[in-house]
Amino acid sequence: MPTALTAPAAGAVPPDASPDVTGSDAALRRYLHGLPGVDAVGLEARAATLGTRSIKTSAKAYALDLAISMIDLTTLEGADTPGKVRSLCAKGANPDPTDRTTPRVAAICVYPDMVPVAREALAGTGIAVASVATAFPAGRAGLEVKLADTREAVAAGADEIDMVIDRGAFLAGRYLQVYEEIRAVREACARPDGSAAHLKVIFENGELATYDNIRRASWLAMLAGAHFIKTSTGKVAVNATLPNTLLMLEAVRDFRAATGRQVGVKPAGGIRTTKDALKYLVVVNETAGEDWLTPEWFRFGASSLLNDLLMQRQKLRTGSYSGPDYVTVD
């Protein structure tokens, strides 16, 4: 029998956060609305303060390599071709042909039909193949369509699935529907050998509109068994921001304190420069802690960020700024 959730006291970490417990839609709603409200002014002020922190030259080389190793190098366009995907895979495996010490990216993220191409191109590299699914980016499809989308990607060899939640259902307060959909997609990530693709759950924060909604979505996804929570699809006007990523990092930190289970965070969309990436690393370190400063627990969803990181890395190594003509064009 499912266990009824107990709403947490204001300002407290929820005491009962097992990912296997849920009651009725009303009980889940009471639980999520019992989460402490977000102090928007305080959140944005803290994010702004952390964004001014500088990384000294002695640590910058390490930070640049860490950021590269955390990238989900992404192409999600209607004009994607096998050739474009193979080129992206080659770049992810060998980002700077002039310097073989450059780390590889964490994953290549593509549409489900391109998973076999990426899988073949990345064989032996150790780079994961990530695939969006569940009628990305809008998520406007029936559950069976979403599950078929997921199973197709997993069967083709995807190591990771990036799903989108039904924002309409969430905003209408149908939290149990969203919870059950995430659970169903996680089950669809299973493989015949007993292993499973990791599940990243995308909120589309720009459409959730409020920080309180982002906090509720974070806890809802983690309760449902997400391996990662992700800010956005990169397809709307407002994508990843320092404040909403900081809020999600607070959520995963508190969730681990309550349950013992660690969940990753992936900001995606709009992170294009080294300066921005380093700000995010500072926020990770200062909010969740060093345990999240690995590709296993923190990722950047990006397409253009890698080039700027490579140019900054070359500058650090050679003393001169090479410019965009010295890196490959995606």
Determine which one of 149, 162, 166, 308 is catalytic: 162
Q: Is 91 among the catalytic positions?
A: no
Beta bridge partners of 79: none
Task: For residue 124, give the DSSP letter.
Answer: T
Backbone angles phi, psi at 71, to 5 degrees: -80, 130
Q: What is the C-alpha R_g of the chain?
A: 19
Task: Indicate the pairing of strand 264-266 with strand 300-302.
Answer: unpaired
Neighbours of 145 (CB within 10 A): 12
Q: Is 279 among the catalytic positions?
A: no
Determine which one of 149, 230, 276, 279 is catalytic: 230
Determine which one of 266, 276, 279, 308 is catalytic: 266
Q: Are 227 and 200 in contact (CB under 8 A)?
A: yes
Coil/strand/helix, residue 198: strand
What is the rounded (10 degree) CA torsion for 215, 217, 218, 224? 150
Q: Is 230 among the catalytic positions?
A: yes
In our burial notation (b when 16+ CB lie closer than 10 A, e otherwise), range 87-117 reads: bbbebbbebbeeeeebbbbbbbbbbbebbbb
- How far apart are the C-alpha atoms of 165 and 197, rounded to whole Å? 17
Residue that has been written with the tokens 């193979």 in this structure = 86
Active-site residues: which are they? 162, 230, 266
